[in-house]
Structure 1
Amino acid sequence: MTTSNATSPSGSQLSEAQDFLAKYPDVEAIDIILTDFHGIGRGKMIRRHELEGIYKSGRGLPSSLFGQNVTGEDVDDCGLVQTGGGGDCRCWPVPGTLGYLPHTGRGQLLIAMYEEDGKPHDVDPRNVFEAQIKRAEKLGFHPMGAFELEFYLVDHTPDASGLYQPASYAMTKRRSTLRNTMSVDEIDEMSPLFDAIYEGAKHLDLTLETLISEYGPGQYEMTIRYRELMRAADDVIIAKRLIRTCARRFGLEAVFMPKPFGNEAGSGMHLHLSLADENGNNLFADQADGSLSPLMLNAIGGIRGTIGETMLLLAPFMNSWRRFASAMYSPASDDWGVENRTVALRVPGTPGKTRHFEHRIAGVDANPYLVAAVTLGAALDGIENKIDPGKPSKDEIGHAKAPNDLPRHWLEAIDRFGASEFNKRTLGPRFHTAFTKIKQAEYEHMALKVSAAEWEYYAFSV
């Protein structure tokens, strides 16, 4: 590949780097971030003088990064480790993601991986998702969306018993173990941290919006502005890192594990989705008679038929499945409904031109690119095949749900994912095989871990 900027397969422009360097003359380092299968950022910290070179000729990183488990250890039989001599592939900037983190004093840039001939690397999760975006565009659709992020803040160090506790407030250093759901005073006591987060977002083209204290002690939710679905997924990667790095500088840790406390609420990552036409008009808007859009209903029908096969992407880790132990606000189901928070696919009640639906199953630990890829892919299948979503659910909180076709535990989800032709077609065969192998190895590793609870219950009793 030549080193001319005109060859950048990502569409990145050298002017973005030049403008950044001019705007932030004191920045001496930039974190370049490639998102792996698990949603974890892998990459390098480069110096200021290296930034323009990445925009001119890319930067080499090993594709075996995608063959690692969550700890960064190679999974040898996944098919991605030490292939082709173990050489690097070329990574290029993701346009519009070069920004500044004022609390670190460094810049930040998302990158994506490409082959030397400029083709998107087929197992990079962002490229896997982009293939579904291009499919939608060929059909005349422009996917739009936003994610909601729920997370816990905990003290940086555990207590004397080795357990982590809900965070002491950044302003008062007081700690509350009460729920304080939607308490504005709780947000005020944590406001120095959130002020820093919102300030950082200004430098990252990240529009963080509503903040609430959620149902668990130390649990919060932040929403992000609705926009193009690809950028919405990028926003999750950027926002999680912003929140994490800010929290550390206040002596706290942001926890995106979906169930850090067994008796408290889990943390989800709800995806709001619609399709627009080339002029930006919402194709999911209500019909003239006030009825729901047939296009949206077909999309919901397509997703309902694949949720069981895609649960491993929505709940990718052992801890993910603890979130479904209670159905309270965590819909482990394949149903849909209007203004009903017990269902998997919720159509918010506000009628009119802003109509969309909300996919409520994914945990905050899920990779947003992969969640969006299978959600959009299934929605397009539903539209192309005019799949009927069935009748909306009328279930209420606390009522027993009808049986559904979802896996009941992590191992079943791994098996269902591996056997799925939908996943192989939507994600690509190499990605599908590698992800399955990595998750099988992770399950086998975790199955050998004996918990403290097992010692407490069984060690001297059975």
Structure 2
Amino acid sequence: MGTPSPSGSDLDEAKAFLARHPDLKAIDIILTDYHGIGRGKTIRRHELEALYSTGRGMPASLFGQDVAGDDVEESGLILTDGGGDQVCWPIPGTLGLMPATGRGQVLVSMYHGDGTPLAVEPRHALGRQVARARAAGFEPMGALELEFYLVDRERDANGRYQPARYALTGRQSLNTNTMSVDELDEMSPLFDAIYAGAAELGVPLESLISEYAPGQYELTIRYRDVTRAADDVIIAKRLIRATARRFGMEACFMAKPFGDRSGSGMHLHLSLAGADGVNLFADLPSGELNPLMLHAIGGIRATIADTMLVLAPFLNSWRRFASVVYSPVSDTWGVENRTVAVRVPSGSAKGRHFEHRVAGVDANPYLVAAVTLAGALDGIAQRRDPGPPAEGNSYARARAAHLPRSWLDAIDCFAQSAFAKEALGAELHHSFAAIKRAEWLRLALEVSDAEWELYGFTV
């Protein structure tokens, strides 16, 4: 008899999966690190039942690594307790077949040997905020949108990356083609494969559009409980990457891969339901916005500065804010206004929710959801007034003085933030700040080609 799974996973799920796929030979097991990168192993078919029965060991030091996979000693997570393994358990409902690779895959979560969650794992940080919400009588519901670029493997004559050729015709367009349905048709073989993979993996992908730049697209994902919504992003990004590779192109989830083109965001839609599933953010009978939602927005406005490192975690993330094209870096809110940080979309009064628009697609969805939910819950507890909604173009306003102006400012603000420490837990807060500071230093010492061209033999 196996050890009880602290994640709630069930051996019957593994047995049913293997029975459905008798020719399957291998399964990828994926632990999501601070950077949203999947770390783990590829196991053979006969090992899957053991994963569900007794878990699988992996080092907790994976959470002490930078984006390149190098150890950051200052994180406090390297060789702790001699560097021994902790135990990873499958996340229920995430076991599926990845058609592009021909392998199975399952997300896993890390626990101590006694079954307590590892405090520094991002998914557990979100879990703590979800538990806090449930204790207050709320069920957090959400979805995240994914913007990304499809990039050709061959660079142009100047050595620069360029938009991918269409999967159907092999043609390449350098036009913006915003919301072009013909462009979607030319890329349809790829997206048909992505949708087929999503069906196998249980990810409810919905609308697809061509975005505001050559080669840029957006996929929306169906609304559901916020933890599964974050799982959906992890699975969807891997699905898109793996499928694109099989079509001779690469998917790029940098926030700003091209300096003169639109950045890629990851907008979080969030609401709170009651125990009966009814949306507690629904408009009042008078037609006015619900005070509960307004207090939540007030809490988020009050904490955006503290959370900017989570919303924009890399140097490249901050390039997205150098241009104001649909990339709000502010603490503004408004109704049906895409220039604000927190937008209340139009739509059904019963389905009312807000959209947090600041995070880039490079951010970790578990951490983004954790700090957003924490800010909302604080705002509700403190009955925070969000102030009047912004009217017109918020991009024209100067950035608020209290908001970080750079990646280093964001690191400092986050490191000093009592809110971020409380929202994410002291260990995760410390290690995340230390890793980001190490990444900043690594890049601060790198002299770019642009600097050589601009300054090298001139100054």
TM-score w.r.t. structure 1 length? 0.98
Q: Distance in 2 between matches of 1:404 and 1:388?
A: 20
SS of 2:452 mapped into structure 1:
helix
Q: Distance in 1 between matches of 2:227 and 2:356?
A: 16
Q: Which residue of structure 2 lines up, in the alignment, with residue 4 of structure 1?
A: 2
SS of 1:46 mapped into structure 2:
strand
Q: Which residue of structure 2 lines up, in the alignment, with residue 422 of structure 1?
A: 419
Aligned-residue CA RMSD (Å): 1.0
Q: Distance in 2 between matches of 1:414 and 1:89?
A: 29
Question: Quick one: which of 425, 440, 445 aligns to 1:443?
Answer: 440
Q: Which residue of structure 2 lines up, in the alignment, with residue 315 of structure 1?
A: 312
Q: Distance in 2 between matches of 1:397 and 1:219?
A: 24
Q: Which residue of structure 2 lines up, in the alignment, with residue 142 of structure 1?
A: 139
Matched, 1:331 2:324: no
Q: Which residue of structure 1 lines up, in the alignment, with residue 59 of structure 2?
A: 62
Question: Quick one: which of 192, 197, 209 aligns to 1:212?
Answer: 209
Deviation, 1:351, is: 4.1
Deviation, 1:102, is: 1.2
Q: Which residue of structure 2 lines up, in the alignment, with residue 123 of structure 1?
A: 120
Q: Any idea what the Cα deviations from partners look like across 1:66-101, whole Å, max 9, x if unmatched? A: 000001000012100000011000000000000101
Deviation, 1:453, is: 1.4
- In 2, are the aligned partners of 1:153 and 1:255 still within 8 Å (CA)? yes
Long gaps (5+) in structure 2: none
Letter in 1 for 2:412: D
How many equivalent residue pairs?
459
Q: Which residue of structure 2 lines up, in the alignment, with residue 14 of structure 1?
A: 11
Q: Distance in 1 between matches of 2:148 and 2:317?
A: 13
Letter in 2 for 1:388: D
SS of 1:306 mapped into structure 2:
helix
Write out the 4+ residue segments of structure 1 that deviate beyond 6 Å after TM superposition: none
Q: Which residue of structure 2 lines up, in the alignment, with residue 24 of structure 1?
A: 21
Matched, 1:382 2:365: no
The equivalences for 1:40-79 within 5 A come to 40-79=37-76
Deviation, 1:427, is: 0.5
CA spacing shift, 1:397–1:138, aligned 2, 3 Å: closer
Q: Distance in 2 between matches of 1:268 and 1:349?
A: 20
Q: Distance in 1 between matches of 2:292 and 2:280?
A: 7
Q: Any idea what the Cα deviations from partners look like across 1:200-253, whole Å, max 9, x if unmatched? A: 001111110000000010000000000010000000000000000000000100
SS of 2:240 mapped into structure 1:
helix
- In 2, are the aligned partners of 1:334 and 1:404 still within 8 Å (CA)? no
Q: Distance in 2 between matches of 1:82 and 1:405?
A: 37
Q: Which residue of structure 1 lines up, in the alignment, with residue 456 of structure 2?
A: 459
Deviation, 1:449, is: 1.3
Deviation, 1:160, is: 4.2
The equivalences for 1:106-255 within 5 A come to 106-255=103-252
CA spacing shift, 1:401–1:134, aligned 2, 3 Å: same
Q: Distance in 2 between matches of 1:158 and 1:111?
A: 36
Deviation, 1:23, is: 0.8
Long gaps (5+) in structure 1: none
Matched, 1:284 2:281: yes
Deviation, 1:269, is: 0.1
Deviation, 1:457, is: 1.1
- In 2, are the aligned partners of 1:333 and 1:404 still within 8 Å (CA)? no
Q: Distance in 1 between matches of 2:93 and 2:434?
A: 34
Q: Distance in 2 between matches of 1:418 and 1:116?
A: 30
SS of 1:302 mapped into structure 2:
helix
Q: Any idea what the Cα deviations from partners look like across 1:37-86, whole Å, max 9, x if unmatched? A: 00000000000000010100000000000000001000012100000011
Q: Distance in 1 between matches of 2:395 and 2:37?
A: 35
SS of 2:110 mapped into structure 1:
strand
Q: Distance in 2 between matches of 1:402 and 1:332?
A: 7
Letter in 1 for 2:136: L
Matched, 1:265 2:258: no
SS of 1:389 mapped into structure 2:
coil
Q: Distance in 1 between matches of 2:447 and 2:160?
A: 17
Letter in 2 for 1:4: G
SS of 2:208 mapped into structure 1:
strand
Deviation, 1:405, is: 2.4
Q: Which residue of structure 2 lines up, in the alignment, with residue 392 of structure 1?
A: 389
Q: Any idea what the Cα deviations from partners look like across 1:315-361, whole Å, max 9, x if unmatched? A: 00000000001122100000100000000000002241010000000
- In 2, are the aligned partners of 1:328 and 1:397 still within 8 Å (CA)? no
- In 2, are the aligned partners of 1:334 and 1:405 still within 8 Å (CA)? no
Deviation, 1:400, is: 3.1
SS of 2:296 mapped into structure 1:
helix
Letter in 2 for 1:129: L
- In 2, are the aligned partners of 1:156 and 1:248 still within 8 Å (CA)? no
Deviation, 1:399, is: 3.0
Letter in 2 for 1:441: A
Q: Any idea what the Cα deviations from partners look like across 1:245-277, whole Å, max 9, x if unmatched? A: 000000100000010100000000000000001
